[in-house]
């Protein structure tokens, strides 16, 4: 894997995470723009989007591991 490909994976995953956060924010408000106050509803929405974020986070971790495996080392950049 080339560094540019790793960067594209980062970009795609981060864009999807941003999209998830935007959709979550919208889901936490009703059609009038008022915040939902039902605890169960809010917890369910947060759980739903948390799973999405975890999938993308896993992709980021696996991509950098794959990159480092291919270049023959573990790079820790500050």
Q: What is the pLDDT of residues 6-64, one digit of tens each?
A: 999 999 999 999 999 999 999 999 999 999 999 999 999 999 999 999 999 999 999 99
Q: Tell me how far apart the alpha carbons of residues 56 and 42 are, in angstroms, rounded to a whole number.
A: 21
Given a cut of 50, is residue 68 above it in pLDDT? yes
Q: Tell me how far apart the alpha carbons of residues 17 and 56 are, in angstroms, rounded to a whole number.
A: 7
């Amino acid at each position: 894997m080339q560094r540019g490909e790793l960067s594209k994976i980062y970009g795609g995953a981060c864009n999807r995470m941003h999209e998830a956060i935007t959709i979550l924010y919208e889901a936490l408000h009703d059609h009038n723009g008022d915040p939902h106050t039902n605890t169960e509803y809010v917890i369910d929405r947060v759980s739903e989007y948390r799973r999405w974020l975890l999938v993308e986070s896993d992709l980021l971790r696996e991509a950098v591991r794959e990159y480092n495996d291919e270049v023959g080392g573990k790079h820790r950049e500050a």
